[in-house]
């Protein structure tokens, strides 16, 4: 059974469903969770914005990330599951790359991520971090959909 489960959290309903599933697995197997939030600072282009605006925006994104991670930690703690938490900030990296890198560094034996289950043009335009995690992960990946399929 799994003993080290990495959970990608971004504050969306989908990632909260993934966290819920990871908590259930951890309770059943006695696993420890690593809650990972990746700050996407790629959108912060300092050449476009003034330094003051850039810093204020970066601070706001960091504060939002910390709040997301704290919420996930509270839910995990309330469930009585052992956990660690980590916020990763990388400029220009996709969240999927960082989740896989953290799984390798922490020696996770499972990754849990939420997925919107986009298809067709939406998937092409918006991409899928969950799919990229699945493609590049050295360990099994549990992808949890935002809504149960009918």
Q: What is the pLDDT, as a whole number, of residue 120? A: 43
Q: What is the pLDDT, as a whole number, of residue 126? A: 37
Q: What is the pLDDT, as a whole number, of residue 50? A: 62
Q: Structural domain tally of the chain? A: 1
pLDDT in tens, the chain (150 residues): 899 999 999 999 999 999 999 999 999 999 999 999 998 755 555 555 567 777 787 788 889 999 999 999 999 999 999 999 999 988 777 889 999 999 999 999 999 999 875 454 444 433 478 889 999 999 999 999 876 555
**Domain contains 100:** yes
Q: What is the pLDDT, as a whole number, of residue 122? A: 42
C-beta contacts of 82-85 below 8 A and 24+ residues apart: 82/26, 82/31, 82/32, 82/33, 83/32, 83/33, 83/34, 83/35, 84/32, 84/33, 84/34, 84/35, 85/34, 85/35, 85/36, 85/37
SS3 (DSSP) at 122: helix
**Domain contains 78:** yes
For residue 126, give its domain range: 4-145
Q: What is the pLDDT, as a whole number, of residue 4? A: 98
**Domain contains 29:** yes
Q: What is the pLDDT, as a whole number, of residue 143? A: 93
Q: What is the pLDDT, as a whole number, of residue 30? A: 97
Q: What is the pLDDT, as a whole number, of residue 48? A: 55
SS3 (DSSP) at 4: strand
**Domain contains 150:** no
Q: What CATH number has the domain bearing residue 68?
A: 3.40.50.620
Q: What is the pLDDT, as a whole number, of residue 102? A: 97
**Domain contains 28:** yes
**Domain contains 97:** yes
């Amino acid at each position: 059974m799994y003993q080290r489960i990495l959970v990608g959290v971004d504050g969306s309903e989908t990632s909260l469903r993934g966290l819920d599933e990871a908590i259930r697995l951890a309770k059943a197997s006695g696993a420890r969770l690593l809650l990972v939030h990746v700050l996407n600072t790629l959108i912060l282009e300092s050449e476009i914005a003034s330094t003051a605006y850039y810093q204020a925006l970066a601070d706001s994104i960091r504060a939002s990330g910390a709040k997301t991670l704290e919420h996930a930690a509270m839910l995990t703690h309330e469930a009585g599951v052992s956990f660690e938490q980590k916020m990763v900030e990388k400029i220009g990296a996709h969240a999927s790359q960082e989740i896989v890198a953290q799984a390798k560094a922490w020696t996770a034996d499972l990754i849990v991520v939420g997925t919107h289950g986009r298809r067709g043009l939406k998937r092409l335009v918006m991409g899928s971090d969950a799919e990229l995690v699945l493609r590049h992960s050295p360990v099994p990946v549990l992808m949890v959909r935002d809504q149960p399929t009918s």
